[in-house]
């Protein structure tokens, strides 16, 4: 059942529906809020005017980049596990026959 959750980002409230548990949706929202705060700190003191949209896009790109790295590492891990498993199977087969 879809539940509604409201989060506030950069002074703007956003309400959206979620199929997952509200607590998990809030954890995801908190991840975004932390990344937004990190970007704001990184950009503070810059002479150019940074829009809220720019901050949100940079935060989203940072999260997407981290997600990409994790997926790549996961894929490499699965490949490594597969290769090691194949080697172990060959070793066991060699010992048995």
Cα 37 to chain centroid distance, Å, stands at: 16
Under 8 Å CB-to-CB from 50, ≥6 apart: which residues? 43
Task: In whole angstroms, give the CA distance from residue 54 to residue 77.
Answer: 34
Domain containing 45: what range?
3-96
| List of the chain residues with pLDDT < 50 | none
Within a 10 A sphere around the Cβ of 33, how many other Cβ atoms? 16
- Report how many domains make up the chain: 1
Q: What is the pLDDT of residue 37?
A: 96
Task: In whole angstroms, give the CA distance from residue 6 to residue 77.
Answer: 37
Yes or no: say if 6 and 13 are a contact pair by the CB < 8 Å rule.
yes
Q: What is the pLDDT of residue 48?
A: 83
Q: What is the pLDDT of residue 96?
A: 85
């Amino acid at each position: 059942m879809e539940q509604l959750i409201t989060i506030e980002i950069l002074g703007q409230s956003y309400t959206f529906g979620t199929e997952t548990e509200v607590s998990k949706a809030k954890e995801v929202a908190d991840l975004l809020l932390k990344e937004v705060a990190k970007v704001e700190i990184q950009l503070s003191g810059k002479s150019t005017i940074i829009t809220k949209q720019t901050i949100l896009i940079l935060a989203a790109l940072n999260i997407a980049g981290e997600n990409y790295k994790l997926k790549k590492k996961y894929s490499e891990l699965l490949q490594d596990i597969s290769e090691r498993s194949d080697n172990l199977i060959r070793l066991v087969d060699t010992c048995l026959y």
